[in-house]
Amino acid sequence: MKELRGTATSEVAAPIEQCVALLRAVDGYPKWYPEVVREVTVIETADDGRPTKARAKLHVARGPLVRDFNLLLAIDVAAPNTVALTRIASGPSDQQRFGVKWLLEDHGQTHIRVTLDANLSVPRFVPLGGIGEAMAEGFVHAASQELASR
């Protein structure tokens, strides 16, 4: 198991409500961040239609690591400013974790902060230095670009 951690921030002119709508619509991630988020299928929704569970395929390619991760994710929206995507374990002995948490704050513009925290099964000899930071930066950059284009 290897630990991946990263944090990134950005400022966008879009209102928080628009940012939350983009980030909770997980099936749209492959459109605006296709380099990493290859597929997302919503498999469960709340009564209001908001996704609560999805299957996702993430592609990580950095240095010697080139790998796809198939994840079952819980989507939690804590209105009005937090969206969390958290891997659901396949059983009690499953030690892998993956989480992306978006925090949005109004500072005249919307301040976006994303935190990535993962513990994934990767061979021990594969160096992962900087991958968590790069993934977090990629997520926040792609989301910011998508929001700016709307």
pLDDT in tens, 57-101: 999 887 777 889 999 999 999 978 999 999 999 999 998 899 999
> Is the pLDDT at 127 greater than 60, yes or no?
no
CB 20 within 8 A of CB 148: no
* Neighbouring-strand partners of residue 150: none
CB 55 within 8 A of CB 71: yes
* Neighbouring-strand partners of residue 58: 37, 69
Query: What's residue 60's pLDDT?
Result: 85
Query: What's residue 1's pLDDT?
Result: 67
Domain 2-148 part of CATH 3.30.530.20: yes
What distance in Å separates the CA atoms of residue 112 and residue 40, rounded to the nearest whole number? 22
pTM higher than 0.95 for the full model?
no
Q: CA dist 101 to 24, 82, 123, Å?
A: 11, 7, 26
> Is the pLDDT at 122 greater than 70, yes or no?
no
CB 135 within 8 A of CB 6: yes
CB 35 within 8 A of CB 57: no
